A and B are shown apart, each in its own frame.
Chain A
Amino acid sequence: MDGWRGQLVRINLTKGSSKIEPISEKILKDYLGGRGLAVRIYTQEVDGDIDPLDKKNKVVIAAGGLCGTATPCASIASIVTKSPVTNTIVCGRMQGYFGTELKFCGLDAIVIEGKAEYPVVIFITDSSVSIRPALQYWGRTTKETQRLIKAELKDRWAARESFIACIGPAGEKGVSLATLVNEDYLVTGGVGIGWVLGAKNLKAIVIKGTQDVTVSNGQKCLQAIFSLKNRFNASPFTREKLPKYGNAFLLDACLKRGVLPINNFKGIAKELNGIDENNIERITHRRACFSCPIGCVRTVREKDREIVGLDYETVASFGYLCGINDLDDISEIRFLCTEFGLDILNTASSIACAMELYEEGALKDMELPFGGKNIISLLKQIGKNKGLGKEVGKGGSIFANSLNRPHIFMGVKGNAIPPFDPRGLWGLGLHMATSNFGAYHLNGLTVIEELFNIHEKVEPFLVEEKPEFVKKIQDMTASLDALGICINALFALKVNNILPIFDFVFGYKIDIEELLLVGERIWNLERFFNLKAGLCQSDDTLPKRLIEEPLNGYTCPLEEMLPIYYKERGWDKEGKPKKETLERLGLCKG
């Protein structure tokens, strides 16, 4: 099969067994891989009402369809499970080399089921799987774990080519905010996945593959790669901004637009507080995910450690939402989050929540004003699940609830709102309210269009137009996630620029409608699962502060946009997909 490998490996931790299974071509064509494939496998095999921490829950990792085919920016793998934090399906975005390596193992996906009796590591080498005890790694930080695993591999050359995804102490100890780390990259968007893996006693997955990925026309593929590269070099964003500053250049854009929130969304920034793109550029170096000509990852290189990923999400959420105005502190925070395996956005949000509670006088255990230095010790407590960290580590939603102030948590469905103020970005507001993973921006990056109007002109404050626009972006992002193409590519490409490569890689043609249909299919499947998990229309909402307290005279008119959005999606008034919608997408039972 060209492009895909057509196989998955099913690993049962309870029995300690594994099995290679074929994936039908129809499923691959309908879902393309990555997020699509993972969601399809997961929703097919797991009931909506499952307890996420039960041993019956599964975790599916799938490599993006175009991963490992040399397509620029195609490096993203997706990890899907039901999160104990949001009680919805969630999908973590694995950057780096992991997804591609999975393809070179001869696999499109890994399905992990059951629960091991004691901590284990899974080794996957070219489709052969071994499960080994991992007591010696349990309790270690992510970097230490990776170093030890590599040191124990007999062949040090093979160790160089092995890629490791692992959880940190936070995941082991059942911190809600836990996520996993693959190589040096923190997985974003998968709040609680670390906890699920920890509950399965799975410490790490080590993969190494030496097999070929075939494409249908290699020479044409190369030509397409060169022409895509030229496109990247033609856009000022991907030629200059992203390589130089990473996506932290959004700070400036958000400031100018008045949507850079500070102090747990209590206000917006009037000026940058020293955390800005130039300072970030000064202290960081550039790095790239597999196959990516953009190379937007900013890393701090110190003598004996590397802090990867000083991105907008990190600097804006800790720098502005929590008010830390020292870049060195923020690097340290990023480092600690990576070491413990904590989700950046949610950790920042929980801490911002705690800070606001402190300022209101509801929290007395620790001195925690906005911008306070105690944040580092709090973070360490969260990672070790001790003291106040134990409470804050339960996630902003539960924490704020426990102090009877639920409105202070700025999130949707238990997932924290990324540092963009929806009162100035209505499209994003609607997206986050309806997003299947709870508030999260990378599964529908409406921000790119709303801030920069790169591909189309978007009116900032027009209720009627937003729902259609949001639906389109959501579908588009879902299909890009399925292909494994990084969302940052949209700064330079339109989706139809990627279409020619389909023919050269997979050997068949596809048009833009079909591609968006794949996205819509994924989106509806996720929605369907969430409804079975017990979510309802009232969960499609935003925190009170964003709906009721105006900012520059605007609130986010969610009530008005939602019905139009449901209609646009072909859902009924309760937000359930209608039968004809499911039929149109080929999702009816079968």
Chain B
Amino acid sequence: MQRIKIDPKKCTGCRQCEMACSLNHKMDTVNPRRARIRIYNKNGHFLPVIAGPFADAACNTKAMIETEFGLVDMCIICRASCPHKTFFFEPDTGIPLKCDFCGTPPNPTCVKVCNTGALELIEVSEDELF
């Protein structure tokens, strides 16, 4: 089974993955707000987050996570498109966005366009996933 591996340490914050994702999902349109991957800037460190499932209500975890980049709000790293944050919603229609892995078999545009190795398509076995 294939998955996208994210290595924030390598990410330069070029946001080319956002651009490519939106270009691939709405015809002839570039708009990072339509992308299913977003890059967060945390004090100059860049954290790529790929949109996961839609949540119709916000969770009440609201935790801070300690990472090597310092304390990061969990809502930032969380992949859900949830009403608490304005990310992963189409700006004009409000439709929640979710990464579709760019088709079957997976052909992720974001991985193809990333030039730094921050995004990588890897093979994992089912056992490793859980």
Contacts and interface: CB of A to CB of B under 8 A. Distances in A.
Interface of A: 2, 68-70, 72, 97, 104, 155, 157-158, 160-161, 184, 210-218, 221-222, 225-226, 229, 232-233, 243, 285-293, 295, 299, 301, 304, 306, 308
B40 to A, nearest CB: 7
7 contacts: A70-B19, A210-B91, A214-B28, A229-B115, A233-B115, A292-B12, A306-B44
Given A288-B14, A293-B14, A295-B12, A160 B40 contact: yes
Given A70-B23, A157-B87, A158-B86, A288 B12 contact: yes
Contact of B24 (A97, A222, A233, A292): A222
A225 B30 CA distance: 13
A210 B31 contact: yes
B28 A225 contact: no
A301 B13 CA distance: 14
B31 A212 contact: yes
B16 interface: yes
A155 B86 contact: yes
Contacts of A70: 16, 19-20, 23, 30
Given A70-B20, A72-B16, A301-B44, A293 B30 contact: no
Given A216-B28, A221-B28, A243-B116, 9 more contacts: A211-B31, A213-B30, A217-B28, A226-B112, A287-B12, A287-B13, A287-B44, A291-B15, A292-B12
Interface string B14-50: 1110011001101111111110000011011110000
A291 B86 contact: no
Contacts of B115: 229, 232-233, 293, 295
Contact of A226 (B33, B43, B113): B113
A287 B30 CA distance: 22
Nearest to A296: B12
Nearest to A289: B14
A161 B88 CA distance: 13
B66 to A, nearest CB: 14
B28 A291 contact: no
A291 B44 contact: no
Contact of B32 (A104, A226, A289): A104
Contact of A210 (B26, B29, B33, B44): B33
A180 to B, nearest CB: 20
B5 interface: no
A302 to B, nearest CB: 10
Contact of B13 (A226, A229, A288): A288
A222 B23 contact: yes
Interface in B59-99: 85-87, 91-92
A212 B27 CA distance: 11
A304 B12 CA distance: 19
Contacts of A308: 44
Nearest to B70: A303
Nearest to A2: B28
Contacts of B32: 104
Residue among B15, B87, B91, B112 with the highest chain A CB neighbour number at 10 A? B15
A480 to B, nearest CB: 18
Contacts of A157: 85-87
B49 to A, nearest CB: 12
Q: Which 8 A-B residue pairings sit nearest by Cβ, starting from the closest?
A: A70-B19, A293-B115, A306-B44, A210-B91, A288-B12, A288-B14, A295-B12, A218-B28
Residue among B14, B31, B112 with the highest chain A CB neighbour number at 10 A? B14
Given A69-B30, A104-B32, A301-B44, A293 B86 contact: no
Given A157-B86, A301-B45, A292 B31 contact: no
B44 A104 contact: no
A554 B124 CA distance: 63
Contacts of A304: 43
A218 B26 CA distance: 9
B102 to A, nearest CB: 11
Contact of A212 (B12, B29, B85, B116): B29
A67 to B, nearest CB: 10
Nearest to B46: A287
Nearest to B40: A160
Contacts of B16: 70, 72, 225, 291-293
Contact of B14 (A160, A214, A215, A295): A295
A456 B34 CA distance: 42
Residue among A104, A211, A291 with the highest chain B CB neighbour number at 10 A? A291
Contacts of B109: 222
Nearest to A75: B14
Residue among B27, B44, B45, B91 with the highest chain A CB neighbour number at 10 A? B44
Contacts of B27: 218
Contacts of B34: 212
A32 B121 CA distance: 38
A291 B33 CA distance: 15
B33 A292 contact: no
Contacts of A233: 115
A291 B19 CA distance: 8
Nearest to B91: A210
Contacts of A288: 12-14
Contacts of B40: 160
B79 to A, nearest CB: 15
Contacts of A221: 23, 28
A68 B27 CA distance: 15
A213 B29 contact: yes
Residue among B20, B29, B32 with the highest chain A CB neighbour number at 10 A? B32
Contacts of B85: 157
A300 B16 CA distance: 23
